Amino acid sequence: MSKSLKGSATEAYDALSPFALEAEGAETPALSDRARPLPRISIQAFCETPQTAEALQAASEDRRLSKAHVTIQMGGAPAAVAHYQESPTPNLIILESHLPHGELVATLEELAQSCDPGTKVVIIGSTNDVVLYRDLMKRGISEYLVAPISSFELMECLSGLYNNPDSDPVGQVFAFIGAKGGVGSSTICHNVAWTLSEALATNIVIADMDLAFGTTGLDFNQDPVQGIADALQNPDRLDEVLLDRLLTTCSKHLSIFAAPVVLDRDYEMSPEGCETVIDVVRQNVPFVAVDLPHTWAPWTKRLLLQADEIVITAIPDLANLRNAKNIIDLVKTARKNDAAPHLVLNMANMQKRPEITPKEFENALDLKTLAVIDFDCENFGQAANNGQMVEEYNSKAKAPQAFRDIAMALAHRKEVKVEKKSPLAPLLEKLKLMR
Ligand SMILES: Nc1ncnc2c1ncn2[C@@H]1O[C@H](COP(=O)(O)OP(=O)(O)O)[C@@H](O)[C@H]1O
Ligand SMILES: [Mg+2]
């Protein structure tokens, strides 16, 4: 970033912030050095006072939060408890609560019932009390701030949560591989990633590792010029700014790291380079779906073994069974402390084709299948030709439910059935707020 730009953003902030005088001192680091940009996470805030809501609103408009999706509503902790009984939890919840210690803890326990383990919670309260602070930290609360807070204090706190080298990486990596070529592994990867981005309203990046023949661009009807090959050429240069330039946005929450799909260039695929690139993506995005080609090389093996979750797609025949068994055995031996990989049987129940049944697959592999997807050339074929996901093409098709099951299993979430709202809902909502 150029010096002048950095200067002006900082000055603008200094003028707004209660830190203004402090920041003039030579000892204090510049404001822009104290808060770093946040990754593409979703943040939902439940405020009790207009002051806190305003501070949050100002923070959400800052360039450092430009990649995060922030929603702010009133109602404090009780509103949050009610909200998450019906909706999935985001990456971060900010709760303003002026309840006394005991009541606050009771409400948090209620919230914990519907809170995903990966969700962080920050509390804004009114008592500067070390006993309360310690109790909250013990219960897994990420941070406790005392109101009134400035938008800068808030940004500094959030930045600390996500830019601390000691904290966990932001993103979960899911690797998808086929037991053979052409079994639908990429199709499943793309549909599951899209479903996850829609169902959880959380950002996900698909990294297309099939540099020569990848279909991610086609499946999402995009024609990207830049993509993953540029990153792999110089993995150590990849940072959040370059990543932004190389990603292609497909929808509000889904971006692709597309393959170049040219045959006249050779790419050096080193296991270290591939791992570095995926690591940078996972530092910036909550979910990364790695679409691996059906090849066996040191770099495919490395990406597979490093992933948080693995999905092996097979069609119900003998060669797929043998290959799936080999991959599963290798993965289980190399990852003794991880859960087993997931198996998806695809293109099942094709007319007149002799097939190995899911039960026989499960017995031979000693693994439960995560999903069985029927052969459905009409919906899959038409969706692929249109550059659409199967659910976009035909929401009544059978496969989208399987994609939702796979997505929720990978993200360790339960599917939340959102009730259809009446057309009067926005009006009623307004009236409730005005009371
Ligand atoms: N369940 C299914 N029924 C019918 N066609 C499918 C199904 N799953 C995938 N396909 C089609 O199979 C073809 C190969 O899929 P692809 O995802 O490219 O396989 P892979 O990545 O394993 O090589 C695509 O044309 C896709 O639309
Ligand atoms: Mg593929």
Pairing outcome for strands 309-314 and 342-348: parallel
For residue 29, is it within any domain? Answer: no
Kindly state whether residues 224 and 137 are assigned to the same domain: no
Kindly state whether residues 102 and 250 are assigned to the same domain: no
Residue 168 has a pLDDT of 65
Kindly state whether residues 150 and 193 are assigned to the same domain: no
Kindly state whether residues 260 and 310 are assigned to the same domain: yes
| Ligand 1 near 186 CB (within 6 A) | yes
For residue 346, is it within any domain? Answer: yes
User: Whose atoms come closest to the Cα of 219: which ligand?
Assistant: 1
Residue 432 has a pLDDT of 58
Residue 280's closest CA among 308, 244, 246, 238? Answer: 238
- Residue 308: Cβ-neighbour burial (10 angstroms; 0-12, 13-18, 19+): middle
Kindly state whether residues 154 and 204 are assigned to the same domain: no
Residue 136 belongs to a domain with what CATH number? Answer: 3.40.50.2300
Residue 425 has a pLDDT of 67
Residue range(s) defining the domain that contains residue 58: 37-162
Kindly state whether residues 199 and 145 are assigned to the same domain: no
Residue 419 has a pLDDT of 53
The length of the chain, given as a count of residues:
435
User: Whose atoms come closest to the Cα of 386: which ligand?
Assistant: 1
Residue 211 belongs to a domain with what CATH number? Answer: 3.40.50.300
Domain-ending residue, one of 143, 162, 181: 162
For residue 18, is it within any domain? Answer: no
23: left (phi > 0), else alpha (psi -120 to 50), else beta?
Answer: alpha
| Ligand 1 near 375 CB (within 6 A) | yes
For residue 394, is it within any domain? Answer: yes
Kindly state whether residues 78 and 109 are assigned to the same domain: yes
Quote the number of domains for the chain. Answer: 2
| Ligand 1 near 373 CB (within 6 A) | yes
For residue 422, is it within any domain? Answer: no
Averaged pLDDT in 10-residue chunks for the chain of 435 residues: 32 34 39 71 96 95 88 96 93 96 94 91 94 94 95 91 74 96 98 96 96 97 92 94 95 96 91 94 94 97 95 98 98 90 98 96 97 98 98 98 97 68 65 52
Kindly state whether residues 182 and 149 are assigned to the same domain: no
CA gap 282, 197 in Å, rounded: 15
Kindly state whether residues 92 and 145 are assigned to the same domain: yes
For residue 194, is it within any domain? Answer: yes
Kindly state whether residues 214 and 268 are assigned to the same domain: yes
For residue 31, is it within any domain? Answer: no
| Ligand 1 near 35 CB (within 6 A) | no
Does pTM surpass 0.85?
no
Kindly state whether residues 143 and 197 are assigned to the same domain: no
Q: Which atom of ligand 1 is nearest to the CA of 383?
A: 27
Question: What are the b/e assignments for 274-283, b being 16+ CB within 10 Å?
Answer: bebbbbbbbb
Domain-ending residue, one of 162, 188, 214: 162
For residue 423, is it within any domain? Answer: no
Kindly state whether residues 205 and 326 are assigned to the same domain: yes
72 forms bridges with which residues in the sheet?
Answer: 45
CA gap 26, 48 in Å, rounded: 37
CA gap 230, 248 in Å, rounded: 13
CA gap 194, 212 in Å, rounded: 23
Q: Which atom of ligand 1 is nearest to the CA of 381?
A: 27
